[in-house]
Copies of this chain bind each other. A is one copy, B any other.
């Protein structure tokens, strides 16, 4: 089969590789119908993710059809349409039993990282019963690819951890796909204001369409000053970090009101300064989280109920044979306007 394979820093290619096989009784083999590329895949290609070694098929998002099931799989049968979670969960270990699937002892983020991923014609899914979700009949399956990772990530790490609530104020720092996923799902809770902060006016314009109430271009104005003005000097109830660098995390510390939350979503490569000399008495909460995808069932319901429409996150579409082009378009997002690119085997 064809697959997009990582060959070490800055090296990838679309290769012909062996179709995967069932290894464990709990495995399922899924024929991919739609997959996509994540910012994390770009991190891997920079060599930033040592757990992902050369030879690995990339990708941890996708929708497909069950091709084969191991003997222990009870929830799915051949032909079922399924959503693939980016997080593999055994459903048995202590972390899974407390819904912290991201730290499953025999799971977690494996796909396209420590085992072969979804940017291929087929993928093997361990712990299939608890790592796949049935696609409701009549759903736009392409749009569901957004539920493999970015929508639960924006929702769990940003919205839930950030305790976004009716009448509250929210600042989201970073209007990339993950910040926009947070923006979309923040509206589940009807905050009074959602301030979107980015340095790219095109992305800010997208944020406006996606429901942001106020836009702040942090390259043009001082974002902390702007937010202070917009909140009568109080700051925001929730500041979401959706970039992953020290400067934006520091900005969040300047935005958050006493009693508020800084919810980190960004993937950080270096440490950041924490201004405890000011924050120690500020009654703030700071949260970090690798998405657990514990909200996937709920998000599927919101899509079915049309209270969430993931489709606008998709900007480009490619056949798997053009996956190298897809990577190029996605990596040059500032020029191409790419948010999420769908790849179809």
Contacts and interface: CB of A to CB of B under 8 A. Distances in A.
Interface of A: 25-26, 71-72, 74-75, 90-92, 94-100, 102-103, 129-130, 165-168, 187-193, 213, 244, 249, 258-259, 264, 266-277, 279-290, 292, 294, 297-299, 301-302, 304-305, 307
A130 B305 contact: no
Contact of A167 (B269, B284, B302): B302
Contacts of A273: 271-274
A181 to B, nearest CB: 14
Most buried by B among A97, A103, A129, A304: A97
Nearest to A92: B129
A272 B286 CA distance: 14
A298 B167 contact: yes
Contact of A190 (B167, B188, B270, B279): B188
A276 B249 contact: yes
Contacts of A264: 276, 280
B301 A192 contact: yes
B307 A192 contact: yes
B166 A307 contact: yes
B277 A268 contact: yes
Contacts of A190: 187-190, 302, 307
A271 B268 contact: no
